[in-house]
Amino acid sequence: MPGYLTRNEHVSIGGRDWRLRVLQDRQQFSDPDGHAGRMGISSAQWSLFGQLWPAGRLLAQAMQRFDIEGKRVLELGCGIGLASLVLQQRGADVVASDMHPLAEPFLAYNAALNALPALHYRQLRWDVPLPTLGHFDLIIASDVLYEAEHAALLAGVIDRHAWPEAEVLLTDPGRGNSARFSRMMAERGFTLAEARCPMDDGEAPPYRGRLLHYTRTVAGEA
């Protein structure tokens, strides 16, 4: 036994049925060697990577229709990796990343569960530079601004890994920290296009979900 319980979940994205292994519930916890604790992942946070969150589903839907031609894509905080799996299925050049020690095996299992080859994965802490990760045309993430300090940390990752001409796409369930992050992105030359989206099938307008699409072009480019 691995020390935690899982279940399979099904979700439809773009008319395709995806099978995902997720943690059974948010009470699951297993850190026998203290690895997660040393990385700053508390027992309360430990299970968050292993859930299919509404913002993660929204990001996967966006990636089903997003223009990926010729773009190298990085997903931050991939968790179980649904958005990266959708991109993999579409033939994108995608790297999935997370800091949780179990994100990589869950991602590999979910790729195999959907008859996909293994994804390129890198363990990434936002506060620790990783020069070998390289640069990207598109950086994506879902619901990553739930702590006040995350805006500055995320902006730092973008500073290190976004090309001068790049896009950043975030899905956010209406957290207040998104406004602070948008100001930081404007300071870095990004323009924002924002769309409101339902976070689940039963939500009525005004929708709380936000699809935040930041674009930066080099001087002289439209």
Residue type, 28: Q
What string of pLDDT tens digits covers the 222 residues of the chain? Answer: 589 999 999 999 989 999 999 999 999 999 999 999 998 899 999 999 999 999 999 999 999 999 999 999 999 999 999 999 999 999 999 999 999 999 999 999 999 999 999 999 999 999 999 999 999 999 999 999 988 899 999 999 999 999 999 999 999 998 889 999 999 999 999 999 999 888 777 778 888 889 999 999 987 654
Which residues on adjacent β-strands are paired with residue 139?
74, 168
Nearest Cα residue to 141 out of 210, 88, 216, 91: 210
Asked if residue 127 lies in contact with residue 108, where contact means CB atoms within 8 angstroms, the answer is no
What is the token pair recorded at 156? 């730092």
For the four alpha carbons of 18, 178, 75 and 108, in that order, the dihedral sign comes to: negative
Query: Which pTM was predicted?
Result: 0.95
